[in-house]
Chains A and B, each alone.
Chain A
Amino acid sequence: MLAFVIRRLGVMLVTALVLTFVVFFLTNLPPNLEKLARSEGSVRMTDAAVASWLEDHGHSGSVFYRYAEWLGAAPGWVITDEKGVTRGKCIGQRDDPAMAPKFCGVFQGNWGVSTVFKKTVLYSLGKSMAATGWLMLAVMLVMVPVALVIGVLAGMREGSRTDRVLSTFSITTSATPEYVSGVILVALLASPATGLSPLLAEWGWIAKKTLFMGTATSAMDNITFWNFGLPVATIALYGVGYIARMTRASMTEVMTQQYIRTARLKGVGFGQVVLRHALRNAMIAPFTVIMLQFPYLLNGVVIVETLFNYKGFGWMLVTAAGNNDIEMLLGASVVAVIFVLVTQLISDIGYVFLNPRIRLG
């Protein structure tokens, strides 16, 4: 077990390095850097001025060396200009250049400064990840149990009326993208003009104008059912359909297995057949899908966070990408890569416990 985890961590490290390099390379393409120079320096800079600005700010030279600098594996750039002022990647504004460390990069905990948020990348990332973390937790808590129950109920008697009703529901939700279901939910439940809210207000059942709140900004400080319900429902609906379909497929297959017949023919009642004999075997396939939902959610929140104006990871990613915030994007990619790899590691380990026949090697 330990050897496996260590080996996997090694592979993860290599994967993370390769992936971050790809992101580094793409975000540091010359046009991006030129844009950065013009936005940080002056819009009306000449091409020569752009080139010298880039040189002054450590953006020239080999992309590999700059990647190593960013990582903290190579010494940060140091430039002494004609006025005798020494600046460098690792030298703060008021620091003494002589006292500054040679290396400063991701390894040393220096992830750079966001040009949009004017804060360190680590601070902004931490804040947005915390916000998204709550959103993902809520989604998972709603989505997984609902999906599994639907899938198991539909799959235990293939072709029955329950199966057809639940399958139709899950096909519909998994075929509806979030930007559609989000808009529908807002119109239905969070609009003072249409949907249920005007009716409920008329009957005096709700004091406010709308049942749910159409924005989740207030959830940044204080999560309530009414401000968090819609974003969670929007994301969960899509996933529910998808996971339920997978669970149903897995369940119907398990129900045709011979050991289910064995259980039936030894006199086990139908409920017990499903719960004791089928469930664990039917969970093996959906488990992988559920674990794959985590990385998916990290991207999936982009639309919903923007739609509901919730300042989490997705919203931050959109803002950073829209404003050529290179350091921020790099930081986000590091977090995303690690997140994906860790959830997949957990998925592989969990698989071994669910399925006693599996051996990892």
Chain B
Amino acid sequence: MSNAVWDASQPILEIENLSISFFTRLREIPAVMDFSCKVMAGEAMGLVGESGCGKSTVALGVMRDLGKNGQIVAGSIKFKGRDLVKMDEEELRHLRGSEIAMIYQEPMASLNPAMKIGAQLIEVPMIHQGMARAQAWELARQIVADVRLPDPDRILNAYPHQLSGGQQQRIVIAMALMSKPALLILDEPTTALDVTVEAGIVDLVKDLGQKYGTSMLFISHNLGLIMDVCDRLCVMYSGEAVETGAVAQVFDDMRHPYTQALFRSIPLPGADKNARPLISIPGNFPLPHERPKGCNFGPRCDYFQAGRCDAGDVAMVDVPDGDRHGSRCVKWDEIDWNAAPKARVVKEKAPIGKVVLQMDDLKKYYSVSGGAFGGGHAKVVKANETLSFSAHEGETLAIVGESGCGKSTFAKVLMGLETATSGTITLFDEQVQSTPIQDRRVDTVSSVQMVFQNPFDTLNPSMTVGRQIIRALEVFHIGNSDAERTDRMLELLDLVKLPRAFAERMPRQLSGGQKQRVGIARAFAGGAKVVVADEPVSALDVSVQAAVTDLLMDIQRQNKTTLLFISHDLSIVRYLSDRVLVMYLGHVVEMGSTDQVFQPPYHPYTEALLSAVPVADTKVIRKRIVLEGDIPSAMNPPPGCPFQTRCRWKSQVAGGLCDTTMPPVQTLTGGHQIKCHLGADVLAKMDPVITFAAE
């Protein structure tokens, strides 16, 4: 192999002017154009951009795994000085898995469901180093321990579905490390995971990178994550790299309008829905075959200048006084990068009215059976435990928690898709906890509506947008004639800021953000008073997220809607909610106004959650608190406090109370509630997780 002659001062990976196209029957679709980047030994390079910008295509291009339609049409990819583009299948096979390894977005899908973990791991050294089975098994054990998984022997003999998502991702990482590759490609490795699990994985990846000296190509849409992991980054837009440089430099002194627009559209600490609302990027991402002439970002750019920006291809230019900092903008040295954005519209805070929704001691239990052939003891899943809160008119109440915390179950019970085990839900003046949706009155149904997480699955693909909204109007008995309903439908399209012509379109002709607007229009069709938004923007790209969130806020201001905003994303919650409710394993562990929850004293879980969320701001200093282990199963919750298995404050409580007794709800000043055994003195001494560095 060429390892012996390899000079460590040279880049591990050097991509030069790479262009990749996909060929369909109709046309050639360029996915990546004129892409260059260099990754040095031990360096972590971030690729950031929205979906469809070509960042994953670059990764697969490096792996030379573009499928039948994909082809590298120009440029070179040099790995340790050898051009991958010119290699044949056999040479590539030797590199894959041994020198270059890849970690994927969905760990469950990337592990073979019918093979034991051990068998999948030992394959790598057995193929590449010709290692004996027993020896490979020993190595696998060691690496599994290295990725901080408990009980390696049990794990190696397990099937993928027997592990949690975080454990699966650790296995995928272990698999990539089996033959100590020189380059690791990580394609959105934590997108499918919960934030506290993500924090653990990110720590692990960073440590392993240092331990083994592996270079990394880290692909993500999350700027905060890039800042945590990478040394350098490359911002991509519509198939091109638009800006590249060291992380701190690009974050603080960006020299491309797209990078700037991206940062202005993400909720950073300090953003506020009324005083400092987010600025969304106008327009839509261009389709690959409809790219504009000249700068791809031109039509959406604030600094666009006709005749210059759309004159011809824009080349990457070096920005001086930087460390290999480059920008693909013709006007980079003319724009005043420190000027405040002009488009910021300050909005009035909506008044908060009377109580519209009241929950008291709500419980929802499910019973499930165990055992591979059925039978076994029936187990009870306590999805919701003693949930009590009230929501007011015009208020945004955020419900925060990781998967399995019971936030979606709560939404189902409220909507009437499930009935409560015990407790009451008072909606206006009516108790609805045990009325399933089919028995509810039409006006009750139309007054509580839902906006769903995935706009791609919630619209009927064979019905026009207008028809779907009219259908909702018919169900809610709104309007006396078809003409009236059509008028109302068009008004609803105006409400969600979609052109009226969209009424005739099919869902497939809409982008994700537009589909979500249709979903919102449908939810408000019956004049909903309470809207449950279940992760309404988490499936959308960051630049679209801002627009959809603002739309929701505007409609709320107009209609005095109560918004129950279910989310795992604390940045957006901090940005738009008035009050926050934090859930863990079916329990409400903390509840209070946004300021109360985001500032100490915290519930220990809230503290960990806050510290786990990556923040894309170099001035923010975050305390690192990485939770050990996974969220316990709701089927088998720990005794005492639900959070005691992962709590770092447990030692501060005398007498092992956390192990045995469910903590009481403490009410602090201002109605701030915390379900914890910690004494008032300990809580008072808590430090804030997020602090701003002195300017």
Contacts and interface: CB of A to CB of B under 8 A. Distances in A.
A161 interface: no
Contacts of A355: 113-114
A105 B54 CA distance: 75
A192 B123 CA distance: 58
A261 B104 CA distance: 10
A356 B113 contact: yes
A360 B96 contact: no
B112 A3 contact: no
Contacts of B369: 361
A38 interface: no
A259 B110 contact: yes
B372 A1 contact: yes
Interface stretch (A64-72, A122-130, A263-271, A329-337): A263-271
B374 A361 contact: yes
B93 interface: yes
A260 to B, nearest CB: 8
Contact of A269 (B93, B109, B112, B159): B93
B101 A266 contact: yes
Interface in A228-273: 257-259, 261-269, 272
B374 A266 contact: no
Contacts of A357: 113, 159, 161
A261 B65 contact: yes
Among B63, B95, B104, B375: residue with most chain A CB under 10 A? B375
Interface in B59-80: 63, 65, 68
A257 B372 CA distance: 25
- Tell me if A's interface is mostly helix, strand, loop or mixed: helix
Contacts of B48: none
B479 to A, nearest CB: 45
B60 to A, nearest CB: 9
Contacts of B101: 265-266
Contacts of B373: 1-5, 352, 359-361
A354 B371 contact: no
Interface size class of B (residues with CB under 8 A): 20 to 34
A266 B65 contact: no
Contact of B102 (A3, A265, A269, A361): A265
B175 interface: yes
B97 A265 contact: yes
A6 to B, nearest CB: 9
B374 A7 contact: yes
Contact of B113 (A159, A261, A281): A281
A268 B114 contact: no
B127 A259 contact: no
A258 B374 CA distance: 30
Given A258-B106, A262-B104, A267 B113 contact: no
Nearest to B95: A267
Given A281-B112, A281-B113, A3 B97 contact: no
Nearest to B373: A4
B372 A352 contact: yes
Contacts of B375: 3-4, 361
B94 interface: yes
A164 interface: no
Interface in B356-411: 369, 371-375
Contacts of A277: 112, 115
A280 interface: yes
Contact of A268 (B111, B127, B161): B127
B124 interface: yes
A206 to B, nearest CB: 48
B98 interface: yes
A267 B115 contact: no
Given A3-B375, A360-B374, A267 B94 contact: yes
Contacts of B124: 266-267
A262 B111 CA distance: 7
Interface of A: 1-5, 7, 159, 257-259, 261-269, 272, 276-277, 280-281, 352, 354-357, 359-361
19 contacts: A2-B373, A3-B374, A4-B373, A257-B109, A258-B109, A258-B110, A259-B109, A259-B113, A262-B110, A263-B112, A266-B97, A266-B101, A266-B127, A268-B97, A277-B115, A352-B372, A356-B114, A356-B159, A357-B113
- What are the 9 A-B residue pairs with the smallest beta carbon separation, nearest first? A361-B374, A4-B373, A266-B97, A267-B97, A3-B375, A258-B109, A267-B96, A259-B112, A280-B114
Given A259-B112, A267-B94, A357-B159, 9 more contacts: A259-B109, A262-B104, A265-B101, A266-B96, A267-B97, A267-B127, A268-B123, A277-B112, A361-B369
